[in-house]
Amino acid sequence: MKATLPRPSVARQAAKLTLGVWAFTFVLFLMPGIAANGRVPEFAIGMTAIVVLFGIALSALLYWACARLQHAPTASKIGGVFGAVCLAAFVFSLTDALLGGNIIQMFMAEHRIRPDVVNRTVSNFISFSWLYGWLGTTYVILQTNAAMHDRDLQLAEARTLAQTAQLTALRLQLNPHFLFNTLNAISSLIVTGRNKDGEAMLSKLCLFLRTALVADGRSEVTLGEELETLQTYLEIEAIRFGDRLTVEFAAADDLLELPVPNFILQPLVENAVKHGVAPTSRPVMLRVGARRDGHDLILSVSDNGGVAAVGAARRDAAGTGVGLDNIRRRLEVIYGARARLETLAHDGGFTALIRLPAPRAPAIGLVA
């Protein structure tokens, strides 16, 4: 993998750390002279400043080497950083030795060090390799943390894109399913001579599809918008079934602005119409409701289609139907284990409940 330099924020952190360490080291270099003589030697400040600036330059090169090794294999990274630390410490030590060994003399005044370049370099290297070793280790830690943070962001972005793609696919899966049923119903009306009803259903279908296209790019809508879409859909079915279908909506006004997944209730209503209304010739009541239960929002679709609907509903509830299986998958993608779909077939019909987390709306007080 091609090596890349870390982000500017990491470089700034490393620069602040490096300057702080070398500022402390500058003071530390002068402390033995002050302790021994009670004052700073005249040559010490200028010479120490020059050597410290050179040490900062070597630290910058060490940081660059650590950055280049960021994506290297572990063994190569450890060996490379170790080699860079040793090289920086050696160059720093040799430079001070060539300049007369003033730093090592001040810093290790109590030790008898031979005045030749080799002994001064070795003594310096032993003394200051820890400094570059610590800086090198810190650089690696900073860069590794930044890389891990970037990978976490990339992973989160990838998961978001995957969820968006999956939800789009699931929504698109509903369109052919619904269109097939509706167009088949329009065809049946025309074949049986109910042309006006067919035209009215086609007009309602156009309105429904226009609403669906407007909301297609949105993963969430308000509960009020979802209920309006359902009302348009049920008006289509009302033309088909006439007095056999009665619809009732029950949702408090304070719930209408809560967000819900787009088209989350439409498959449940379609399932109720298909299995509860279509198989029977008697009137059927279809109820769509919403209520709070603690921090959850409970959405319900129920019908009293009777025993005729129970067998088919149970099959669809088991996951063989497109609608309910689609809802379960969408809830899992969006909410994980925090949401679920529950179904119950009974002698009086069929009930489906969606439980999902809902934000608590702020209380609004009226001022007289």
Alpha-carbon dihedral 177, 179, 185, 187, rounded to 10 degrees: -130
38-64 pLDDT, tens digit each: 666 666 677 778 878 888 888 888 888
Does the pTM surpass 0.85? The reply is no
Q: What is the pLDDT of residue 167?
A: 54
Instruction: Between 239 and 227, name the one with better pLDDT.
Output: 227
Least confident of 70-84, 96-110, 241-255, 328-342: 96-110
Pairing mode, strands 245-251 and 284-293:
parallel
| CA-wise closest residue to 78 among 89, 69, 91, 88 | 69
271-290 pLDDT, tens digit each: 888 888 888 888 999 999 99
Domains of the chain: 8-154 (no CATH), 194-357 (3.30.565.10)
The tokens of 139 are what? 């650089």
Of the pLDDT bands very low, low, confident and very high (cuts 50, 70, 90), residue 367 is very low
Q: How far is Cα 174 from Cα 157, in angstroms, rounded to an integer? A: 26
Q: Is 60 exceeded by the pLDDT of residue 84?
A: yes
Give the H or E element holding residue 342.
strand 340-346
330-359 pLDDT, tens digit each: 788 788 888 999 998 887 889 999 999 987
Q: What is the pLDDT of residue 74?
A: 79
CB of 343 within 8 A of CB of 303?
no
Other C-beta atoms lying within 10 Å of the C-beta of residue 32: 16
Residues with Cβ < 8 Å from 32, sequence gap 6 or more? 106, 107, 108, 109
CB of 360 within 8 A of CB of 194?
no
| CA-wise closest residue to 301 among 331, 342, 262 | 342
| CA-wise closest residue to 251 among 207, 210, 292 | 292
Residues with Cβ < 8 Å from 367, sequence gap 6 or more? none
What Cα–Cα distance (Å) separates residue 331 from each residue in 44, 218, 219, 341? 71, 15, 12, 8
Q: What is the pLDDT of residue 183?
A: 83
Identity of the highest mean pLDDT range in 185-189, 235-239, 295-299: 295-299
Q: Is 80 exceeded by the pLDDT of residue 315?
A: no
Q: What is the pLDDT of residue 352?
A: 93
Q: Please, what is the average pLDDT of the chain?
A: 76
Q: Is 80 exceeded by the pLDDT of residue 215?
A: no
Q: What is the longest distance spanned by two Cα atoms in the chain?
A: 116
101-116 pLDDT, tens digit each: 555 555 554 445 455 5
Q: How far is Cα 217 from Cα 168, in angstroms, rounded to an integer? A: 8
CB of 100 within 8 A of CB of 106?
no
Sequence-ordered alpha helix ranges (H) in the chain? 8-37, 42-68, 74-98, 102-107, 117-191, 195-215, 223-241, 266-272, 307-315, 322-335
Q: How far is Cα 232 from Cα 224, in angstroms, rounded to an integer? A: 13
Task: State the Rg of the chain over Cα.
Answer: 37
What Cα–Cα distance (Å) separates residue 128 from each residue in 75, 92, 120, 263? 24, 8, 12, 68
| CA-wise closest residue to 105 among 94, 117, 113, 95 | 113
Residues with Cβ < 8 Å from 105, sequence gap 6 or more? 113
Of the pLDDT bands very low, low, confident and very high (cuts 50, 70, 90), residue 5 is very low
